[in-house]
Amino acid sequence: MTESASCDVCVVGAGPAGLSAACTLADKGLSVVVVGKGRGGSRPAVCGETLSPSVSDVLVDLGLDRTFANLQLRAVSGFRSTWGSSHATWRPVSMMSRGGGWHLDRQAFERVLTDHATNKGIRHFDGAVEQIVRAGNRWRITGRAFVRPIVAHVVVNAAGRQGATPAARTRRVAIDKLISCMATIPNRDGDRDDTVMIDAVEAGWLYSARISDRWRVLMFFTDGDLLTARTEMQLVRHLQAVLQNAPCVSHTVSAQELGEAHGIKVVPCATLFGIDAQEDSWISCGDAAQTFDPLSSMGIAEAMGDAVDAAKSLASCLGGDGAALARHEIRRRRRFLEYLRRRLAYYAAESRWPNASFWSRRRNPMDIERFVSKFQGDARSVTGRPEESNLRRVDSPT
C-alpha cells in the first residue's frame, strides 16, 4: 500500500476495539483511517477465548447483532469448577439470565468487524504504525506499510496491551503480574464437550476449553514472578505437576496428552489501567486503555463497549461538547473500579491457601483503595485531561 491519507481520526489497531471505534466514528460523519498490523496483537492467534453475553449490547449498538448470530458460534454449555473447595461444582447456563456466552472463533469475529468497517467506506491500511509525532495541530503517523504519512486531527490508540508505539503517550499502572502459560492439545476422539473447566490451585488457576473439532486449549494462570519454568520442557513438566491437583481440567486433558501439546507459550495477562497524557487529541480505548483478568471473560465485550463510548464522546467533543471526553473518562474509571471490586470478591471466595502469594495478593483490598485515592481524588485527577476541551473538528486537508 503506497497511498497516503488525511483524515479526522486515525485509529491505530484493527482489533475489536479499533474496528468498533472506527465504525462508530464513521457513523457520526467523521473521516476515519484504520491502521492495523495483522491479527492477534499481544494475544496469541488462538487462545480459547470465551465471549461474554454482555457483548450483545454493543453488537446491537454497532448494528451487528444479526450478522453475529449468523456466525453460529458454539455456546458455552456450562462451567465445571473447583473454586473455594476441592468439591467440583457445575453451573449450567440455564441458571444464567443471559446464557454463558460463546466459544469465540476470533478470526471469523474480526472478519465480521472488518467487513462492517469496509462497508462503511473506512480506509484500512494493513501494517504496523512505527512513529506518531505531533506536527503543528495534527498527528503524523508513519510506518513501512504506507510510504507517505497519514495526517490526522485525532489519534485513537486501540493497539491492545502493547500500545501504539514504543514512545506511547499512554502511561500504564499494573494492578497485578498475571501471566498465562498456555498449551494447545489435540482433541480426544469424539470430544464435543463445550463446558468451560476451571480449577483453583495453590499458585493460580487452570482453564480448559474445546476450541475446535481438533483442538483443546489448556491455560495455567499465575504471577510472572512465581513461574520459574523457562524452557518448553520445564513448562510441560510444570503444567503436568499442576494438573495433578486440578480435578475438573484433568478430566479433559491427561499428563500424557499434555506431553503432546503444541506450541507451549507464556503470555502477559496483567490487569492494567492506562492514563493518556493530557492531550485531548489522543484517546486510548480497549486493551490499550485498560485490561481485565481473563477469569472475568470481560476483555472483548469491555474493549468494544469502551471503544464505542470513547468514539461517541470524541464525536460529541469535535461537534462542540467540550466536556464529553472528560465524562467518558469518569465513566471509564467507574467501570474499572466496579471490575476491581468484583475481582476482589471472586478471588476472596478461594481461601484454601491463606499463605500462598498468588491468593493473598488478590485478597488485598489495598488495590482498590490505592486506585480510589489515585484516580478518584481531586477533580483534575479524576479526568486526567482538561475538563473542558477545545478540540473541534477542522476540515481535513486533502
Ligand X SMILES: Cc1cc2nc3c(=O)[nH]c(=O)nc-3n(C[C@H](O)[C@H](O)[C@H](O)COP(=O)(O)OP(=O)(O)OC[C@H]3O[C@@H](n4cnc5c(N)ncnc54)[C@H](O)[C@@H]3O)c2cc1C
b (16+ CB within 10 A) / e for 276-315: beeebbbbbbbbbbbbbbbbebbbbbbbbbbbbbbbbbbb
Contact code string over 166-205 relative to ligand X, x by CB under 6 A: --------------x-------------------------
Cell numbers 499463605 correspond to 355
* 375: enclosing H helix or E strand: helix 366-375
Q: Which of 29, 38, 92, 377 binds ligand X (CB under 6 A)?
A: 38
Per CB under 6 A, 162 contacts ligand X: yes
Query: Shortest Cβ distance from residue 13 to ligand X (Å)?
Result: 3
- Strands in the chain per DSSP E: 5-12, 32-36, 50-51, 74-75, 78-82, 89-92, 102-103, 123-126, 131-135, 138-143, 146-157, 170-174, 178-186, 195-201, 204-210, 215-223, 262-268, 272-276, 282-284
To the nearest 10 degrees (0 to 180), the angle between helices 55-62 and 299-318 is: 40
Contact 52, 300 (CB under 8 A): yes
Per CB under 6 A, 50 contacts ligand X: yes
Query: Shortest Cβ distance from residue 392 to ligand X (Å)?
Result: 27
| Distance between CA atoms of residues 153 and 173, nearest Å | 27
Query: Shortest Cβ distance from residue 386 to ligand X (Å)?
Result: 25
Per CB under 6 A, 160 contacts ligand X: yes
- Count CA atoms closer than 13 A to 227's CA, side-chain side: 28
Question: Which of these segments, 37-45, 344-352, 356-364, 376-384, binds ligand X (CB under 6 A)?
Answer: 37-45
Contact code string over 234-273 relative to ligand X, x by CB under 6 A: ---------------------------------x-x----
Nearer to ligand X, 39 or 393 (CB): 39
Q: Can you read off the three cell numbers belonging to residue 58?
A: 454493543
Query: Shortest Cβ distance from residue 300 to ligand X (Å)?
Result: 4
- Strands in 146-268 per DSSP E: 146-157, 170-174, 178-186, 195-201, 204-210, 215-223, 262-268
Q: Which of 13, 149, 204, 274 binds ligand X (CB under 6 A)?
A: 13
Q: Which amino acid is at 322?
A: G
Label residue 127 left, alpha or beta by phi (over 0 means left) and psi (-120 to 50 means alpha): left
Contact code string over 118-157 relative to ligand X, x by CB under 6 A: ----------xx----------------------------
Nearer to ligand X, 77 or 323 (CB): 77
Query: Shortest Cβ distance from residue 158 to ligand X (Å)?
Result: 6
Query: Shortest Cβ distance from residue 379 to ligand X (Å)?
Result: 28
Q: Which of 78, 286, 305, 384 binds ligand X (CB under 6 A)?
A: 286
Per CB under 6 A, 158 contacts ligand X: yes
Per CB under 6 A, 294 contacts ligand X: yes
Query: Shortest Cβ distance from residue 200 to ligand X (Å)?
Result: 17
| Distance between CA atoms of residues 179 and 342, nearest Å | 20
- Largest CA-CA distance found in the chain, in angstroms, rounded: 65
Which spans of this chain sit near ligand X (rule: CB under 6 A)? 12-18, 35-43, 47, 49-52, 128-129, 158-160, 162, 164-165, 180, 267, 269, 286-288, 294, 297-301, 303
